[in-house]
Amino acid sequence: MLGSNVNFYPHRECEYLCGQDCALVHLCSFSAAAIQKMTFITLWDYILLPIYILLIRTVAVGIRNRNYPPGHPWRPYFLPGLYLKMAGAVFISLVYQYYYGFGDTFAYFQHVGIINSAFFESPVKWFNLVFGLAKWYDPQYTEYISKLVWYGAPSNYIVCSAGAILGIFTFNKFLCIAVLMSSIAYTGQWALFRTFVKQYPHLKRFIAIACLFIPSVAIWGSGLFKDTICLFGLGWITYSVFQILIQRNFSFSNAILLILSVYLVGVTKVYILIAFLPSIALWVLLRYSYRIKYSFLRVIFLPVIIGIVVFGFYYISTNNAELMGAYTTDQILERSEITREYILKSGDDESSSYTLGDVDNSFTGAIAKFPLAVNVTFFRPYLWEARKPIVFFNALESFFFLFLFLKLIVRVGPTGIWRAISKDPNIQFFLIFSIIFAFAIGISTYNFGSLSRYRIPCLPTFLMAMGLIYYQKKDPKTQAFIPFAEKLDS
């Protein structure tokens, strides 16, 4: 099925054929040398790109004018956020074409071309290939499936399928697919913004920055990547859960959005879902706990909720290998050790690698590195660790996060921080997800280049947590959040 031209080559931003994220090798039918010789962005991309950007803008202006008329407080952020998202898609595409020369995004795009070549032969064949319904042993599909290395790897193939659908409307042009895919993903980020700006209307500018304008999220979370799909899904999961379970808006559209988003994130990067679902479950339970009138009952209830969720998550992640697959605690630690040993022994790309010191390959050993792992995700690379242009860009953003964190410590203080966290379940949700996710990424990546991509789901939530803590201290008279759904618009 794979053919004779299968090659192994190290590229720490790619994945195994099985679809699991890995920092070691990438099984692909296209060698690095072959991909570097190919030009995926052509003259036609540059000719058609302005047309598609204009079409997207026209649709976006119509949506903005219909939902956010002049004077609406959210109106100033809608189009600028979209423009940054499209610019990020173009920028990262150009980086991969002219700086890296190869990458997983081009492997996805080659699959797009193979899938869409079946459309003109038979739309039915195309449909079956897009949705993975064709059987590899069916002779009428052999010509296509023999070239689709990721056909049996859902986490990779879902990106190819999404690109193929968009490719039908964009003449299979790489930049046009990237921009259109990013624009659709932007709806998830806007849904995240809508969810929390309703609760903190006085902080709309800050929430817009956290949800829409973080540079690395706009760049690495755009284009033909898994991360683009995941940002779309996480935003809509948060919005749908809030609408259904907190606002009690049981509409059909919210249910469909929730199911679709959970499916997309679960198939694309299940480890994000593993970290996100316990956090969001705890978020909902904590919000309902604030309806308890008697504070002493709430004090008793909160530790019980946290204990049940934490124990349940630990039990499932440790003992249910069939459900969790490669993402049980033992499997994650084992893969983390393999990744670490490979990078340190190979000496490959030393300018972008990092180390947390000696790590005992056990749960307690990993916990001992918890502070270092979280630190590397949020605050590294430090400025003096940047030896490449792209790493220096990440270092500037990390320095900004470190500056805000230190400012928060000085201005608010440990007591004020704890008081703000204990009062606001939204902050608790942001911190639980951010820290769990940051720990998992920091202890398993060991490469700043990969880290810059893998960490983007937790950057908006961590920034919002810091901001809400700071603004509560700055203006304590301002209500932190609205615990009763009846007080919020739908």
Average pLDDT over residues 243-258: 92
- Domain contains 213: yes
- Domain contains 265: no
Mean pLDDT over each residue of the chain, to the nearest integer: 82
Among residues 178, 207, 239, which one ends one of the domains? Answer: 239
Average pLDDT over residues 452-469: 94
Average pLDDT over residues 329-340: 57
pLDDT surpassing 80 at residue 320: no
Burial category of 164 from C-beta neighbours within 10 Å (exposed 0-12, middle 13-18, buried 19 and up): buried
Structure tokens given for 270: 């299940």
Average pLDDT over residues 226-248: 94
Q: Are residues 194 and 339 in the same domain?
A: no
Lowest mean per-residue pLDDT among 254-268, 297-311, 316-330:
316-330
pLDDT tens-digit series, residues 416-448: 999 898 888 899 999 999 998 999 888 888 888
pLDDT surpassing 90 at residue 170: yes
Q: Are residues 193 and 82 in the same domain?
A: yes
Q: What percent of the chain has pLDDT over 70?
A: 75
pLDDT tens-digit series, residues 25-58: 344 444 444 455 567 899 999 999 999 999 999 9
Q: Are residues 80 and 225 in the same domain?
A: yes
Q: Are residues 215 and 349 in the same domain?
A: no
CA distance 155 to 89: 21
- Domain contains 315: no
pLDDT of residue 271: 85
Residue with more model confidence, 37 or 77: 77
- Domain contains 294: no
Provide the pLDDT confidence category of residue 367 given band limits of 50, 70 and 90: confident
- Domain contains 476: yes
pLDDT of residue 8: 28
- Domain contains 123: yes
Q: What are phi and psi of 193, to 5 degrees?
A: -60, -45
Q: Are residues 37 and 134 in the same domain?
A: yes
310 closest CA partner among 289, 334, 279: 279
- Domain contains 272: no
pLDDT of residue 330: 53
pLDDT surpassing 80 at residue 409: yes
Q: Are residues 235 and 353 in the same domain?
A: no
Instruction: Give how many domains the chain has, as a whole number.
Output: 2
Provide the pLDDT confidence category of residue 362 given band limits of 50, 70 and 90: low
Average pLDDT over residues 231-241: 96
Lowest mean per-residue pLDDT among 27-36, 40-49, 94-103, 456-465:
27-36
- Domain contains 304: no
pLDDT of residue 187: 97
Among residues 205, 239, 273, which one ends one of the domains? Answer: 239
pLDDT surpassing 90 at residue 303: no
Q: Are residues 151 and 35 in the same domain?
A: yes
pLDDT surpassing 80 at residue 358: no
Q: Are residues 111 and 231 in the same domain?
A: yes
CA dihedral 223, 224, 230, 236 (to 10 degrees): 70
Structural domain boundaries, residue 475: 324-487
Among residues 239, 264, 279, which one ends one of the domains? Answer: 239
Residue with more model confidence, 487 or 130: 130
